[in-house]
Amino acid sequence: MLSPGNGDGPCIPRPFSIYDRTAADRVTFLIQVHGPGTRALAAIEEGGAYTCTMPLGQGFQVAPRERPVVMVAGGVGSAPFLLYARARTAAGAGDSTWMLYGARTADRLYDRELFAGAGARLLCASQDGGAEHRGTVIDLLRDGLDAGRLPQHALFAACGPEGLLHAFAEFARTRNLHAELSLETYMGCGWGGCNACPVPTEPNGPLGSWPWAKTCTQGPVFDLRTIRF
């Protein structure tokens, strides 16, 4: 949860994924400017202070080395996958890790060279035809599975705007894929105190009988089978 350290901008911090770790004591964030919270963060000058509470929440499952992983990202939804891809590569599993990266326009496929250097197999798509593949990231996923280039038994991990997540969830359910999603709900506190972030759960599923889960503490990453999305 991030906010400017000088009190500028909204008093409620905004949630972000940790993007990169550029030194032992330094992490970076990939932030798309939307409204007042992100505008205030973008206005911090180099060397300026910000308030950060981290780490919070539950991330993607760390799949065992022998299990293939297919990451599905849209726009700044790529943020949680850079370190994940590097960790898979360091564990010797780069060849069985795919990063499918999509955006409406190719200029929103951020830091492609960083991802290409992370050791996973990178496939990019944009709807304007500016990337190697024209279409959506779901088209990439469907084509890859239909052609046998992507393994059906992989763990499929998705992060991106809500429209992408809904399309991904529908596709994963139809194809019976083991899928995890990082949800982009609004958040207030980030640690379970304010109830700003509920998501309905599957009744009597692995999350228990309570019909709601808090995205900040029980997520933001959920197994698709556990939530009603």
Ligand X SMILES: Cc1cc2nc3c(=O)[nH]c(=O)nc-3n(C[C@H](O)[C@H](O)[C@H](O)COP(=O)(O)OP(=O)(O)OC[C@H]3O[C@@H](n4cnc5c(N)ncnc54)[C@H](O)[C@@H]3O)c2cc1C
What are the residues binding ligand FES (CB under 6 A)? 187-190, 192-197, 214, 216
Where do runs of H (alpha helix) occur along the chain? 36-42, 81-90, 112-116, 137-146, 162-175, 215-218
Nearer to ligand FES, 53 or 105 (CB): 53
Nearer to ligand FES, 144 or 198 (CB): 198
- Smallest distance, Å, CB 197 to ligand X? 8
What letter would DSSP give residue 71? E
Q: Which does 71 bind (CB under 5 to 8 A by kind): ligand FES, ligand X, none?
A: none
> What's CA 177's distance to the chain center, in Å?
17
Nearer to ligand X, 162 or 170 (CB): 162
Query: Largest Cα–Cα distance of the chain, in whole Å?
Result: 53
- Smallest distance, Å, CB 78 to ligand X? 8
The Cα 41–Cα 8 span in angstroms is 9
Nearer to ligand FES, 10 or 193 (CB): 193
- Smallest distance, Å, CB 122 to ligand FES? 32
Say whether the peptide bond before residue 13 is cis (omega within 30 degrees of 0): no
Q: Give the footprint of ligand X on this chain (CB under 6 A).
A: 14-17, 29-32, 34-38, 76, 79, 162, 184-187, 220
The Cα 168–Cα 161 span in angstroms is 11
